[in-house]
Structure 1
Amino acid sequence: MAKTKTKFVCQNCGYSSAKWLGRCPECGSWDSMAEEIETPSKPQQSFLMPKEAPKPKTLDKVMLSEVERLKTGINEFDRVLGGGIVPGSLVLLGGDPGIGKSTMLLDAGMRFAANNIKVLYVSGEESEAQTAMRARRLGKPGAALLVMTATDLDAVLLQAKEVQPQILVIDSIQTMYNAELQTAAGSVGQVRECTAKLLRFAKATGIAVIIIGHVTKDGNIAGPRLLEHMVDVVLQFEGDRSYSFRVLRALKNRFGSTSESGIFSMEAGGLIEVANPAGLFLENRAENAPGSVVCACLEGNRPIMVEVQALVAKTPYGMPRRTAVGFDYNRVNMLLAILERRLGIDFGNFDAYVNIVGGMRITEPAADLAAAAALVSSYRNKAVPHSVLAVGEVGLTGEIRRVSNTERRIRDAANLGFTRFVVPKGKLNMEQKTSGIIQAATLEEALSAIFN
């Protein structure tokens, strides 16, 4: 009898070694090597027909056909996908536990079923009764929505071939098991091979496959990085569970743009799309509160008015604290250094806290000016007027640098009642004449325009 060969595989990056290692040399993670049994590789099924041989063609000879996308009926979801789901595509949806991934896909499946589009929803985490209970909370399920509880991928694909749905939903890929591998479900090898088998199934049958992926504590999708390269679309569902708002982003999309985003609100009846999120986070803004400034930040291609709050308080300790929630911690330290060096404001004996209201996470530098103004407002205990909007990136030399789509940010803010707009200096192509636009070249000019 042949001796069974084993190997040790990193559960974070997929690196394999003949012996156990305490630290993975590929990704640097500790205690991530797990023992797996080596299985001989089998020839993969080809996408081509048995008698068809590949031949090179020029682009003008390739037949182009219009692909009719499958629309979910959830406008925010369809926008992020580029207009709907492409038949035969493989879509990966990731997000934190409890963020609403399963709820959104079950709701989309029910809407598909209402339009007579057959959907097979396979859950490896819930029983059929639990899935039906959640579906009844979302509404009345249609007859075209089929549910199934299974973890054996071969059995799932066998049923999918018999039922012939137009959309197959797998919840989640970490619970699926491929009997060809002698490893536990959720391991790097299982996730990789299950995804590869689903990819071949989608391309060969033309059935769109949507898989849900778990995320690690760092926010990355669990499994090998190869997983994101194999699929056609990678969607990330983000949001703080303490708040009701969720943001759906496309990290990769072979059939559309990655600059779109969808805003949702978690209500008692499930996820509700927010069609116009521009002033969503300004409903409970306090009047004449020092340390509060509004900035127009882009979520995809749409500006959203975000309230940036700052608190500067005298520190009781020898080392002052710097804390950022929803904002880049390193940018807070940079802005404090710029304010000290260029404006002479001494923060050495003060704690500084910056918070983005509503659980939003701001990554673009357009919020630099608003954060700096909020810090100065709290330091001076002087409120910024309620109708002021601040947009701009702050450079290390104290200059205000331009950001993209300034005109659209101003237009949407004007529709919400803002009358003074402090923006970087430069040419603006405004379709309609808007008063109250103040262009500043330096941080000192911008702060003077904001407080005066």
Structure 2
Amino acid sequence: MAKSSTQYLCSECGWSGGKWFGRCPECGQWGTVEEFHEARPSSRTRAAKITVTETGTAVRGGARGSMTNDGPSGGTGGGIGTVRTSRTAAVHVPDSLITPITDVDDHDVDRIGTGFEEFDRVLGGGIVPGSVVLVAGEPGIGKSTLLLETAGRVAAGIGGESGNGNNSERTTSGSASNTSNTDNSGTADLIDLTGKVLYVSGEESTAQVRMRAGRIGAVNENLLLSSTTDLATVLGLLEQVNPRLAIVDSAQTITSQDVDGIAGGSTQVREVASALIDVAKSRGIPVLLVGHVTKDGSIAGPRTLEHLVDVVCQFEGDPQTALRMLRAVKNRFGPTDEVGCFDMSGEGIDEVTNPGALFLSDAGDSDAPGGTEGTCVTFTVDGHRSLPIEVQALVTNSVLPTPRRATNGIDSNRLAMLVAVLYRHGKVPLLTNDLYISTIAGGLAKEPSCDLAVAAALASAAFHAPIPRDWAAIGEISLTGQVRPVPRLEYRLREAARLGFTHVVVPKRRRGAKPISVPGITVIEVDSLPRALRALGVERK
């Protein structure tokens, strides 16, 4: 039975199936499943006829018929027949298409700087010419603002070339390159647009993009704007302008007239991505592609979209705070464990080269020389970067039958476990108290290495015993009250020393492990929760 080409697609989450539902089986939304038709295969992919001779040789063409064969047991005469197959026939490949890997030049590629050091580090040193970078994130998180400001900086020549490129050879087309000369015959010479940046918006008009560019300071004559949702027009702009950098916002709004399906559907997104990748590779134009996400945080559209592009970056953060994090999920030209920090404001996006200033408060500078009760600092590792996290806790007497547990930046289930461990092994009675625990500036203390800092902050608030401001705690707490080792401890200690911390309580190293020594840091090793609380000075007197 032939497979039906009719499919049904959810406009909310991108789910597709062969049956219509009033409610999407994936996201649960009502009335979002609509019918669409897959693109018909080209005539070149149809089944070909192959003639099989007596000697087993396959010959293309011939009349359609059944295959016969003179086997050892005999059979009908003739020995010639035809069989239909859907395989693609092999063609002769010239030797010029085959190159030994030792003959391929291994010179470094001159990358294009984005103007943001944090962005360049996440990409592995800059944008590789001819690459396609997918930047995804939730609505309103700042994807378009980040890329528009990047376009403005590249157009102004702020990014320059990285790698083996020479910054002095940076191409910034001036007024001379924008002048078109016309001869007597009336034929205009080609305009030299080398160094131009093309920003194609399928969601906003050029006036709206210009308004936002003026607010964030991204107005430059080398920045070209276009508002269209037609894929053929976008490809024509790329070939005509031949920009230094192209930005398409977004993949889910661009449609092709050559294939069926609604905007944002699997067929359209796949066609748009494939066409942009072909142009980027053939002409060496780097493309920054904006991608939408679904309710569960995954990139909307087919999974092949992430496989086709070269780099996938997630732009994330809490919309209620100014902190934004850019991390590479996939990167063919660099590491995938780098994280860039940005600060979102009304004037645009600023990179944060020292995140410690964001995640630490100044509450204990004036009135509490020994620190503030209910506060403890820990250090997490995100990629190659160690980030300080300040944990604050408030313990009050409860007037409710069930004590309240309010968390921000900390897993509530993890908090319940730590409260039980504190009661059982640390002799800290918190089961009947209201607990409020939070982090600073939208930091996340969900890594197991933050357990000791959370427990110390709760004990400090319960016993009114402040922890010195230049002390920190790093370690995972088990149900038995043990303080377990954490990975990359040296990274955390070096960042603590850089920020001025002098004492850090850490788990006891494993047998046979080398001791870690960091200048300026006094390392206090503990193996259990009671000893850790005693070292921090927050045990019950």
TM-score, structure 2 length as denominator?
A: 0.75
Deviates more, 1:215-224 or 1:35-44: 35-44
Q: Label 1:150 to 1:52 Cα distance change in 2 as closer, same or farther (>3 A).
A: farther
**Cα deviations across residues 325-375 of structure 1 (Å, max 9, x unaligned)?**
112233222222322332344433233332111012234222111111112
**Higher RCO (CA < 8 A, seq sep 6+):** 1
Cα 1:327/1:193, change in 2 over 3 Å: farther
**Cα displacement (A) at 1:86:** 0.8
Shift of 1:141: 3.1
Matched, 1:269 2:347: yes
Q: CA distance change for structure 1 residues 13 and 224 in 2, over 3 Å: closer, same or farther?
A: farther
Q: Structure 1 residue aligned with 2:245, among 157, 167, 171? A: 167
Identify the match of residue 255 of structure 2 among 156, 170, 177: 177
| Range 388-397 or range 138-147, more displaced | 138-147
Q: Distance in 2 between matches of 1:265 and 1:164?
A: 32
Per the TM alignment, residue 139 of structure 1 is displaced from its structure 2 partner at its CA by: 2.7
Instruction: Note if 1:357 corresponds to 2:443.
Output: no
User: What code does the residue aligned with 2:501 have?
Assistant: F
CA distance in 2, matches of 1:327, 1:437: 26
Residue of 135, 140, 153 corresponding to 1:98 = 140
Q: What is the aligned partner in structure 1 of residue 490 from structure 2?
A: 407
Please give the per-residue CA displacement for 1:29-66, whole angstroms capped at 9, x wherever unaligned. 56564321233134899xxxx98689666543544342
Matched, 1:207 2:249: no
Are the aligned partners of 2:260 and 2:267 in contact in 1 as well (CA < 8 Å)?
A: no
The SS at the match of 1:173 is: coil
Contact 1:385/1:451 (8 A) holds in 2 = no
Residue 469 of structure 2 corresponds to residue 386 of structure 1 = yes
Indicate the residue corresponding to 2:533 in structure 1.
447
Once residues 288 and 267 of structure 2 are traced to their aligned partners in structure 1, the CA distance between those partners, rounded to angstroms, is 20
Report 1:93-172 matches (<5 A): 93-115=135-157, 116=172, 117-139=195-217, 141-172=219-250
Name the amino acid aligned to 1:222.
Answer: A
Matches of 1:233 and 1:254, distance apart in 2: 6
Contact map agreement 1:423 1:439 (CA 8 A) in 2: yes
Partner Cα distance (1:140, 1:5) in 2: 46
Q: CA deviation at 1:411?
A: 2.9
Q: Which residue of 2 aligns with 1:329?
A: 412
2:311 corresponds to which of 224, 227, 233: 233
Distance change in 2, residues 1:341/1:180 (3 Å): farther
Counterpart Cα distance in 1 of 2:301 and 2:453: 38
How far 1:440 moved relative to its partner? Answer: 0.9
Q: CA RMSD in A?
A: 2.8
Identity of aligned residues (%): 45
Residue 10 of structure 1 contacts residue 188 of structure 1 at CA under 8 Å; is this kept in 2?
A: no
Contact 2:497/2:521 (8 A) holds in 1: no
State which structure, 1 or 2, has the greater radius of gyration over its C-alpha atoms: 2
In the alignment, is the contact (CA less than 8 A) between 1:309 and 1:355 conserved in 2?
Answer: yes
Cα 1:451–1:22 shift into 2, 3 Å: farther
Amino acid aligned to 1:40:
R
Distance 2:268 2:396 in 1: 52
Residue aligned with 1:438, SS: strand
Counterpart of 1:343 (choices 419, 426, 438) is 426
- Cα 1:345–1:168 shift into 2, 3 Å: same
1:430 aligns with 2:430: no
2:39 aligned residue: 39
1:368 to 2:434 alignment:
no
- SS of 1:210's equivalent? strand
Question: How far apart, in 2, do the equivalents of 1:144 and 1:137 lie?
Answer: 18
Which residue identity does 1:153 align to in structure 2?
Answer: L
Alignment partners' CA distance in 2, 1:84 and 1:217: 30
C-alpha distance in 2 between matches for 1:450 and 1:43: 75
The equivalent position to 2:108 in structure 1, one of 61, 66, 80, is 66
Q: CA deviation at 1:151?
A: 0.8
SS at match of 2:111: coil
Task: Indicate whether 1:318 and 2:360 are aligned.
Answer: no
What is the CA distance between 1:213 and its match in structure 2? 1.4
Aligned positions, number: 443
List runs of 5+ in structure 2 lacking aligned partners. Answer: 46-91, 158-171, 173-194
Distance in structure 1 (CA, Å) of the matches to 2:126 and 2:477: 38
Structure 1 unmatched ranges of 5 or more: none
| Greater mean alpha carbon deviation, residues 385-394 or residues 329-338 | 329-338
The 1-side partners of 2:24 and 2:35 are apart by: 13
- Residues 34 and 54 of structure 1: is their aligned pair in 2 closer, same or farther, counting only changes over 3 Å? farther
Correspondence for 2:64 = none
Q: Deviations over 1:143-174 (max 9, x none)?
A: 32211111111111111111111221011112
Q: 1: CA distance between counterparts of 2:293 and 2:360?
A: 31
1:435 Cα deviation after fit: 4.8
Task: Report SS of the residue matched to 2:212.
Answer: helix
